[in-house]
Amino acid sequence: MNRKSISLIILSLLVVILMAIFSSKNYLLFSFGFLVLTLGVYFWKFEKSQHNSREIVFIAIICALAVVGRIIFAALPAVKPELFILIMGAMVSGPETGFLMGTIIALTSNMYFGQGAWTPWQMFALGIIGLISGLMANKEVPVWSLVIWGFLSGFLMGWIMDIYYIIGFVNPITIKSIVTSIVASFYFDFVHALFTAILLLLVGKRWIKIFDNYKQKYALFEQ
């Protein structure tokens, strides 16, 4: 993991900590601040490197697919393809861009589902998943590794959202109340994780091949 990725994680953690300290009254301010921070880091890197407009188009396509996928499955709360799409896009574009796509997906899709104090936490969760997925860019990743990571990513997002719930709504915070909160969300996290893993098992390699061909054809995200 390079210095930019580590710096991005530290700054993002700082935003989440501030969010927890200053309650939920300014969640939109924090959300857009989070997005500006992410965009700032990305475009700073963009200006320092050789990039092209097609990369912006690719990012927009991935984010749009993930948002539409989340909306289409709105009737099934735990069944969402956004993690699958984010993982696939990040594996092509790299960690910083993966983090950027994760934050955009969360904020944009909540324009439909509703903004709230949870939005910065979702942005952080999807951003981290995009960043970790991006670390696998330009590597031969076995299918079983993809499936395991997809399954774990569903729980990772759930656990981050559990932290938000515990800090904001659990009183008093005890070992028992923490365990109860995690157990209460286990079913939804499991279904989300399982759905993501199944998608990666069935079509993950096919999507990677399609994206890699597109990447090579238009010389995208070259270091």
Distance CA 209, CA 147 (A): 16
- The overall longest dimension of the chain from CA atoms, in Å, is 56
Q: What pLDDT, in 10s, does the model give residues 160-205?
A: 889 888 877 788 888 898 899 899 999 999 999 999 999 999 998 8
20: which 2 tokens?
């927890």
Burial string for 88-107 (b: 16+ CB within 10 Å, else e) reads bbbbbbbbbbbbbbbbbbbb
d(CA 109, CA 128): 17
CA-based nearest residue to 20, from 173, 192, 150: 173
Are the beta carbons of 110 and 119 closer than 8 angstroms? Answer: yes
Q: How many CB atoms lie within 10 A of CB 213?
A: 10
What's the CA gap between 143 and 134, in Å, rounded? 16
Segments of the chain with pLDDT less than 70:
1-8, 11-12, 15-16, 18-36, 38-52, 222-223
Return d(Cα 90, Cα 75) in angstroms, integer. 27
Q: What is the pLDDT of residues 64-79, one digit of tens each?
A: 999 998 888 878 777 8
31, 123 Cβ separation under 8 angstroms: yes
The pTM of the full predicted model, rounded to 2 decimals, is 0.84
